Amino acid sequence: MDMKQPTAAPADAADRVPGSGLASLRVPLDPYPIQVGPSAHLAAEAERLSQLSFEHFDVRRMGATIGAEITGVDITRDLPDEAIAELSTALAAFKVIFFREQPLTAERHVAFARRFGDLEIHPFFPANTGEPALVRFEKSAELSGYENAWHHDVTWREVPSMGAVLHAITVPEVGGDTLFCDMYAAYDGLDEATKERVDQLDAVHDYMRAFGMFVAPDKVDETRARYPEVTHPVVCTHPVTGRRHLYVNRNFVSGIVGLGPDDSTTLIDLLCRQADYPEYQCRFRWEPDSVAFWDNRAVQHYASSDYWPQPRVMERASIVGTRPER
């Protein structure tokens, strides 16, 4: 029986560096639905961000295209309109901004968040006893964290949040970080065939997927009437930046309009996996009185649930947005 001879390696193979000659090309790692290689599509945005400067504070960038720590400003006091406008500009640019050593009272937390818009009341999470607009996340050995999946907040609302201001009150010594992902980058990194496929699709969002357990049986019909299923575009255009971003998550999306259950699940999972690339992310290590302010349209977030049984107490004010548009 004839044996197939091995193909000889090129004479210069030993001198090549893996990846040389590929430049900015990302390639699939067959047979898996992931890509390896440089995320070259981030370069222009990273360069743009490197050129930004601000009058009322300084910034330290965290990820290639996402995240900046803000210093030189005290958000516990009433800031001038010019500083608030610059913070809005920084939020639009960096997608999530962070502050350290900001001992916000509940009153000052709400006052700061209100400078950016009206605040929403969450119907399923408990609130700070003195401020209904503050959702209180109080985790302990008896109540663990279940926010460790990539998501935008409250996409089951007809008008979801524009953004959120999260204040750390008690944090574990280790763990409990929050990760954020740039959903512009996640969309831009898709191949053209997938973009063409998803650009005109809509997704069904339903509060029951995550919060159905919080609704008493005798209140299901009443709650459903108040919060019916809603549809939002799979790919939305940001109302401030005009950029396209993915807008699906596993927590609240029950299906894709026009697709069967299996095809919906496969496509939703493919799109949600884009948030898994660390190149699109930044990670924030909490300290007492740290604050994160994120654009709930441009980013998804993931709260690491690795601190049990240590306590973790946070409060969040969410700012009313606009209906997502294609």
Q: Does the annotation count 153 as an active-site position?
A: yes
Q: Does the annotation count 191 as an active-site position?
A: no
Phi-psi region of 117 (alpha: psi -120 to 50; beta: other; left: phi over 0): left
**Preceding omega of 309 cis (within 30 degrees of 0):** yes
d(CA 41, CA 70): 26
d(CA 130, CA 114): 16
Q: Does the annotation count 301 as an active-site position?
A: yes
HSE-up of residue 42 (Cα within 13 Å, Cβ side): 21
Q: Does the annotation count 115 as an active-site position?
A: no
What are the contacts of 304-308 at 24+ separation with CB within 8 A? Answer: 304/148, 304/175, 304/176, 304/177, 304/178, 304/179, 305/144, 305/145, 305/146, 305/147, 305/148, 306/175, 306/176, 307/139, 307/145, 307/172, 307/174, 307/175, 307/176, 308/139, 308/141, 308/144, 308/145
Q: If we measure between CA atoms, which residue out of 282, 284, 324, 275 comes closest to residue 162?
A: 324
Cα of 313 vs its chain's centroid, Å: 20
d(CA 250, CA 252): 6
- Per annotation, catalytic residue among 152, 245, 301, 312: 301
d(CA 184, CA 274): 11
DSSP H or E run through 87: helix 81-94
Neighbour-count burial of 247, counting CB atoms closer than 10 A to its CB (0-12 exposed, 13-18 middle, 19+ buried)? buried
- Per annotation, catalytic residue among 109, 153, 295, 312: 153
- Per annotation, catalytic residue among 109, 151, 205, 232: 151
d(CA 170, CA 168): 6
d(CA 251, CA 156): 10
Residues identified as active-site: 151, 153, 301, 316
